[in-house]
Structure 1
Amino acid sequence: MFINTQSDTDSFTEGEAQLPEAMAFWIEEPGVGVLRRQPVARAGDGDVLVRTSYTGISRGTESSVFLGRVPASEHDRMRAPFQEGDLPGPVKYGYLNVGVVEQGPAALRGRTVFTLFPHQSAFVVPADAVVPVPEGVPARRAVLAGAVETAVNVLWDAGPVIGDRVTIVGAGMIGCSIARLLQRIPGVDVVLVDVDASRREVADRLGVGFADAANAPGDRDLVINTSGSDAGLRLALESVVTDGEVIEASWYGDRPATLMLGADFHSRRLTIRSSQVGAVAARRRGTRTTRDRLMLALDLLHDDAFDALLTGHSSWRDLPAVMAALADGRSGDLCHTIDWEDAA
């Protein structure tokens, strides 16, 4: 279910009513999305006012949030950096935002920046919360920074080396981002595995191999599961070499996963290790910050091949319907971007 509304500002105080307004997407309750007008705070010293150009939908996490499938135990850990409200709702949630700085320090004014801010047409944040998008990276492509940042962290956790045979199970936005970064390591054989045969075309554009689940190659030095399914994790365990390691990069929300830990799991001495973007991978935590990681991700987006992941695009007016379609599986987009250019 979705609702597309524009609420008024009658409840604002007289002082608040004089503030400029922005349009924002809120989850009223699980499965119900709305558009609200809300005031934008005045930019103070050390702040920036950003006018949003594009936001991106992080399909896996945002679908779980939209449908209310975040366990209560994870509500605090799953908070987005600039979230308003609390899970399961009403809540304003999201973290893939690219816009232009209209007010703030001279060095940032007029710059296109990436911010971990929800779906909203304009907003004010501290200046150190925005990261400039490098020259030559298109603004719409820059919404993929969150996905590429996750891919960087997964690969820091996984530690692939030259010549590895690597399988990524799940050709979604994260899996495809990991595959493209791996493709740039000399001698690495990369195969994306997915139940959706149409993902072969995306794999071709990324320059990596593709196999359906029934024909996934075996004896892989490293297998990374991004499918968000227990079937994908089982396939990963079947595909990895003896004494091998599977990196579990999916997040299941409140859904259980069933595995066969009998059979040859112990005799082959297999390992499952989690990877999560909330903290810098342990191998780099002493030398890199989360800002370093995000800046690296944005620089890696100079690669035109990432445009293959931008498979859907809509006006902000359609965001409630788009989010509902992504959450219930009616849309198969890898990364669906939202255009805010005329939302002033």
Structure 2
Amino acid sequence: MEERAFWVSPGRGEIRPVDVDEPTLGQVRVRSLRSAVSRGTETLVFRGAVPPDQHERMRAPHQDGDFPGPVKYGYLSVGVVEAGDLSLLGKTVFCLHPHQTAYVVPVADVTVVPDGVPADRAVLGGTVETAVNALWDAAPMVGDRVTVVGAGMVGCCVARLLSRIPGIDVTLVDVDPTRAEIAESLDVAFAHPSEAAGGRDLVIHASATAAGLQRSLELLAPDGEVVDLSWYGDTPVRLDLGGAFHSSRLRIRSSQVGEVALHRRHRRTRAERLALALELLRDPAFDVLFTGASAFEELPELMADLSAGRRSALCHTITYPGHLDQGAT
């Protein structure tokens, strides 16, 4: 069957035809309902900014092509199983798959969306999974004072999960004052970087800027830690590590979703982590992150606009032809 997929080369996107085979034993064919643009990573890919030494590490599941491009890239897809494994027929599933009208994947690569989680919200599965992994890495304690720097998709998801831990004081920090309304909907405080309170036990950084990482360090209390979720691509990051960095014994460490956080790695699988993320998406508060939608055919123009900063978005979803709005089944 001929379907269509979105491909990118540095600075350019296009819709291409793609052949999709009939599923064989242990496979399913998924008809796409929604996908979402992971703005930070996908715009870096669109600009051709994946460093050569990271080409293999940054491969997405089911990616076709090689960096810098042409490459079929993306990993936030929700669809309905229309052929293959009988136990999954008609089920709404999440898959780490690029933007494509339909695709065939192994059964193990799809996760059933829980009842009560609409398809639109389910596209956040991979983002909430990243947030879950970050909190497994960061291990916040009851009563901690925590700041999240960067109110993008990942930062907002982390902030919302933190807000549900008893006794934690959470502040979301961003240079964009319009994110204050989003923070309120997520039940956390908001501050501009220049006005954010210091003395924090933990700071989670997700702004993907050197200025954001520097400010994260400045907000820490002695012996505090920054957990950095940002990916900078080929952009160098410079920090001032004078001042309190050594005398206050501050720490910076990374968190990345490619591996389960160390303290859970031998007790949780990636599949269990993703299933947990989808369960957490029963929370309707996440709906505030959706700031726009475009048809699949508009992806080339959309990605160019997002990469050039001509269009702002938190979570921009992609709709596919032939399907009405649909929740989980």
What TM-score bracket applies, with the shorter chain setting the length?
A: over 0.9
> For residues 203-241 of structure 1, what are the alpha-carbon distances to aligned partners after superposition, in whole Å with 9 as ceiling and x for unaligned?
011111000111011001110100000100110000010
2:316 counterpart of 1:336: yes
Q: Which residue of 1 aligns with 2:48?
A: 68
Number of positions where the alignment pairs a residue of Structure 1 with one of Structure 2: 323
Secondary structure at the counterpart of residue 245 of structure 2: coil
Give, in whole Å, the separation in 1 of the partners of 2:142 and 2:244: 28
Match of 1:99 in 2: 79
Equivalent position of 2:297 in the other structure: 317
Task: Report the Cα offset of residue 342 of structure 1.
Answer: 2.8
User: Is the aligned partner of 1:263 residue 2:226?
Assistant: no
1:249 counterpart residue number:
229
Q: Which amino acid in the other structure matches residue 7 of structure 2?
A: W
Q: Which residue of 2 aligns with 1:207?
A: 187
Matched residues in 1 for 2:120 and 2:301: separation? 20
Paired position in structure 2 for 1:15: none
Measure how far apart 1:39 and its partner are: 1.1
Matching residue within 15, 23, 29 for 1:49: 29
Which of 4, 9, 14 is equivalent to 1:34? 14
Alpha-carbon separation, structure 2, partners of 1:321 and 1:202: 27
Which whole-Å CA distance do the structure 2 matches of 1:342 and 1:89 have between them?
29
Deviation at 1:41, TM superposition (A): 1.4
Q: Which amino acid aligns with 1:242?
A: P
C-alpha displacement of 1:42 = 1.7
Distance 1:327 1:41 in 2: 33
Root mean square deviation of aligned Cα:
0.8
Distance 2:50 2:322 in 1: 33
Cα distance in 2 for partners of 1:108, 1:247 equals: 38
Mapped pair 1:294 → 2:274: yes
Partner of 2:286: 306
SS of residue in 2 equivalent to 1:302: coil
C-alpha displacement at 1:341, in angstroms? 3.3
Which stretch shifts more, 66-75 or 263-272? 263-272
Corresponding residue to 2:173 among 176, 188, 193: 193
- The one-letter amino acid paired with 1:140 is D
* Aligned counterpart, 1:152: 132
1:129 aligns to what? 109
**1:25 and 2:33 equivalent?**
no
Q: Aligned equivalents of 1:309 and 1:85: distance in 2?
A: 31
What is the one-letter code of the residue matched to 1:131?
T
Give the Cα separation in 2 of the matches to 1:212 and 1:165.
17
Distance in 2, Cα, partners of 1:329 & 1:157: 31
- The structural deviation recorded for 1:330 is 1.6
AA aligned to 2:321 is E
Q: In 2, distance between residues paired with 1:108 and 1:332?
A: 37
Q: Which amino acid aligns with 2:238?
A: T
* Sequence identity percentage: 58
> 1:14-48 CA distances to partner (integer Å, 9 max, x unpaired)?
xxxxxx11111001x20100001111112111110
1:87 CA drift (Å): 0.5
Give the TM-score, by structure 1 length.
Answer: 0.93
Q: Secondary structure at the match of 2:246?
A: coil
Which residue of the partner structure matches residue 184 of structure 1? 164
Match of 1:266, SS? helix
Q: How far has the Cα of 1:125 moved from its partner?
A: 0.7
The structure 2 residue matched to 1:168, chosen from 123, 128, 148, is 148
Query: Residue by residue, what CA displacement relative to the aligned partner does 1:158-202 show, whole Å, maximum 9, x if unpaired?
Result: 000111110000000000000000000001111000000000011
Amino acid at match of 2:5: A
Q: Deviation of residue 300 (structure 1)?
A: 0.2
Letter in 2 for 1:147: T
Higher-Rg member (1/2) = 1
Amino acid at match of 2:23: A
Moved over 6 A (4+): none
Rounded Cα–Cα distance in structure 1 between residues aligned with 2:282 and 2:251? 35
Q: Structure 1, residues 101-154: CA drift from partner, whole Å, max 9, x if none? A: 001122100000001110000011111111000000000100000110000000
Unaligned 5+ runs, structure 1? 1-19
Q: Distance in 2 between matches of 1:98 and 1:245?
A: 35
2: CA distance, partners of 1:72 / 1:291: 29
Which deviates more from structure 2 when the two are superposed, residues 152-161 or residues 324-333?
324-333
SS at match of 2:67: coil
**Matched residue type, 1:210:** F
Which residue of the other structure, out of 237, 240, 249, is the alignment partner of 2:220? 240
TM-score w.r.t. the length of structure 2 is 0.97
**5+ residue gaps, structure 2:** 324-329
1:53 maps to a residue whose letter is L
CA distance in 2, matches of 1:187, 1:116: 34
